Chain A
Amino acid sequence: MNEKDFSEEFLSAFVDDQLTAEEKSRAYEQINRDDSLNRRVCELRKVRDLVQLAYRDVPGAPSASGHGRRARMSNLAAGVLLALGVAIGWALHAPGDDNKLEGASLEFVQPDPVQITSSQSAATVPSEPAQPNARRAMEVAKAGTPAKVLIHVNDGEMTHLGQALDEVDNLARYYREASINARIEVVMNGDGLSLVRADVTNFGARIARIQRDYDNVVFEACKNSIDRLRRDKGIVAKLLPGVVVIDSGVAQLMRRQNQGWAYIQV
C-alpha cells in the first residue's frame, strides 16, 4: 500500500467527504501514516481554502437591508419575490422521507501535533488504485436539502459538556427517526476541547457510541486552541479516536454560516 494507490479523484472525494464510511476510515488511516499522501491531501485542502477565501466577500453582493438595486425594485417585484420566498421556504422545509443519512464533512488538516489513536486494525491492502465508489455515493445521497447543524462547544464545565452530548444525541436521533437527511458537526475550541481530550474527558465511551451509531455526526477540534494549550500550559492534547482537527473553530463557524448551516451554542 503506497501513495500511488490513491488517485486524485479519491483524495478529492476524501477532502469533500464524499466517500462511504468504510472508504473514509481506510483512507484516514493511510493518510495518517503516509507523508506524501498527507501532503497531497493538504494541498487539495489549501486549494479549496483559497477558493473559499476568494469568494467569501464578493463585490456588489446584495445586502439584507435592501439598498442599491434591490431598493429600486418596484413593490410589485418585491411582492413576487416575497411570495417566492414562502413557496421556497415551505418546499425546502418539509422533511424528506429518505432513510439514509448523508455523511458529515471531514476537514482533514494534519495529524500532528495531536496524537490521534485509532482502535481499528491495520487497513487491508487494495489490489488496484482506490477510486471513490460513485455508485455507492449515489445510493447514499438522497434528494432534499439536508438539515445542517453546527454545535459549538467552547465551555469546559463538565455538566455543560454532558448537556452538549445530550443535545447531539437527541438531535441525531430525532433526524433519524423523522427520516430527515442531516449533517451535524460538533466544533470544540477553547475550554470545550476537554470534551474530546482523551486524558481528561469523562465522555470517551459515550462519544465513541455516538460515532458508531451515527455516521453523519463529526467531532472537530480547533487547532489554534490545541496549539495555545501547548504554548500556555505545556499540555500536548491527546484526542479521542475519530476526532478531526480543523484549522480554526471560528473560521469553521463562519464558513458553515456562509453555507447556510444552523448554529447552536452550548
Chain B
Amino acid sequence: MGKFVASMMAAAFALGLAANAQAAGYDKQKVVYHINSADTKTQKGALRNIQNHINAVGKDNLDLRVVMHGGGVAMLQTAQKDEDMKGSIEKLKLQGIHFNVCANTLKGKKLNYKTDLYDVSEKDIVPSGVAEIAALQQKGYVYVKP
C-alpha cells in the first residue's frame, strides 16, 4: 500500500512538471549524430550540419548528442592543433551540445583522453559508442549520420 501511494504521489508530481512543461511548449527534439569517419573534411562537414540543425530548430528546443567512435575520435585529436575545429566544437558546446567518446575506441587506439583529445572529461566517455547510439535510439533519439 505504501509503495502504491508513493507511486501515485510521484505520478502526480511528474504530472505537475509535465503540465508546466506543456504550457511552456517545452518538448525538446532529441537527436544523436554518429561520427565514425577519420576524414577531417567529413568531420568538419558534420560540425557544420550540427550548427545548421541548431539554427533551424533553436538551441533551447534541442537535445543533441554527438557520439564519436572508431575513426571519428580523431576529430578531437585534430582539434588539439586545428584552431578552426577547436573553435567550432567550443561554439557547439556553448550551445548545449554534448560530445561523447567511445571507451572501446580509446582502448583500441591507446589514447589518453586527458592528453590526446581536446576537452574530454570522464563523464563524456561511454563504454561502447555503438551501444550508446542504439540505446539513445531506443529512448527516442533520432539517428543522423552526416
Would A171 and B130 count as touching, CB distance under 8 A? yes
Interface residues of A in 213-266 (CB under 8 A from B): 260, 262-266
CB distance from A84 to the nearest CB of B (A): 8
Interface membership of B110, Cβ < 8 A: no
Would A83 and B128 count as touching, CB distance under 8 A? no
Number of B positions contacting A (CB below 8 A): 33
Q: A93-B139, A262-B137, A265-B145 are in contact. Are A149 and B22 (CB under 8 A)?
A: no
Would A76 and B130 count as touching, CB distance under 8 A? no
A75–B26 CA distance with the chains assembled, in angstroms = 13
A80–B15 CA distance with the chains assembled, in angstroms = 6
Would A82 and B18 count as touching, CB distance under 8 A? yes
Interface membership of A163, Cβ < 8 A: yes
B131: contacting residue among A80, A147, A265, CB under 8 A: A147
CB distance from A266 to the nearest CB of B (A): 7
Would B18 and A262 count as touching, CB distance under 8 A? no
Chain B residues, Cβ within 8 Å of A263: 137, 143
Would B135 and A83 count as touching, CB distance under 8 A? no
Would B22 and A262 count as touching, CB distance under 8 A? no
Chain B residues, Cβ within 8 Å of A171: 128, 130-131, 134
Number of A positions contacting B (CB below 8 A): 28
Would B138 and A93 count as touching, CB distance under 8 A? yes
Chain B residues, Cβ within 8 Å of A149: 130, 134
Interface of A is mostly: helix
Interface residues of A in 67-93 (CB under 8 A from B): 75-76, 78-80, 82-83, 86, 89, 92-93
**Per-residue interface assignment for chain B, residues 52 to 76, with 1 indicating a CB less than 8 Å from any chain A CB and 0 otherwise:** 0000000000000000011100000
A175–B69 CA distance with the chains assembled, in angstroms = 17
A178–B130 CA distance with the chains assembled, in angstroms = 14
CB distance from A87 to the nearest CB of B (A): 8
A260–B139 CA distance with the chains assembled, in angstroms = 10
Chain B residues with a Cβ under 8 A of chain A: 10-11, 14-19, 21-23, 34, 36, 69-71, 102, 104, 108, 127-131, 133-135, 137-140, 143, 145
